[in-house]
Structure 1
Amino acid sequence: MTELAGDRLGDWISTVENDSLTALVSFARNLCRDLEAVRNGLSLPYSSGAVEGHVNRVKMLKRQMFGRANFNLSPEAHATAELKSHGLRQSQCA
């Protein structure tokens, strides 16, 4: 969709309701639940794209940091990690 055409939404929904694709018919019927908001989204020149981009970036950073920060700090895990960093196995140290 390259133009603001929210005024044609009602015609599109009427056409789709007579279609044989049940998923498309269901989608069109669910649009009717909040028809005014959908029509405004297709008619008004405002966009939340920039905000959504920033939210997506923040979520990606949080996932990355959570993965890095989620290591086990128990003494056994720390000792095993220390041995691995020196190329040793636990059985070699006993």
Structure 2
Amino acid sequence: MLTERQGERLPEWLDAVRKDDLPSLDILAAGIDRDAVAAGLPLLRNSGVVEGHVNRIKMLKRQIFGCTGVQLLRK
């Protein structure tokens, strides 16, 4: 569905997720905005690259948080 950009298959996938006994996927399926995801799946462009950069920057910020102190600032 994702690799072939077939948004019309989203409702049947959501129904299959609800029938399976996978609580994590069930929670995900319950929170999906069907119209927005179905409309976005066929699009050729996405924000994956940007989200990857944002994720990397957030990870770096988490790694260096608290590493600076008075001694380091004095150097």
Question: Counterparts in 2 of 1:70-85, with a 5 A limit?
Answer: 70-73=68-71
- Residues 9-52 of structure 1 deviation map (CA, whole Å, 9 limit, x = unaligned): 00111122222223322222222xx1122223322111112222
- Distance in 2 (CA, whole Å) between partners of 1:23 and 1:67 is 33
Q: Report the CA distance between 1:60 and its aligned residue.
A: 5.1
Find the counterpart in structure 2 of residue 43 from structure 1. Answer: 42
Q: Report the CA distance between 1:5 and its aligned residue.
A: 1.2
Letter in 2 for 1:54: H
Letter in 2 for 1:52: E
Deviant stretches of 4+, over 4 Å? 60-68
**If each structure's helix is expressed as a fraction of its own residues, which one has the higher value?**
1
Give the gaps of 5 or more residues in structure 1. Answer: 82-94
Q: Secondary structure at the match of 1:43?
A: coil
Find the counterpart in structure 2 of residue 12 from structure 1. Answer: 13
Which structure would you say has the larger RCO, counting Cα contacts within 8 Å and 6 or more residues apart?
A: 2
Q: Percent identity?
A: 47
Give the gaps of 5 or more residues in structure 2. Answer: none
Q: What TM-score do the two structures reach when normalised by structure 2?
A: 0.62
Letter in 2 for 1:47: N
Larger radius of gyration: 1
CA root-mean-square deviation: 3.0
Q: Secondary structure at the match of 1:47?
A: coil
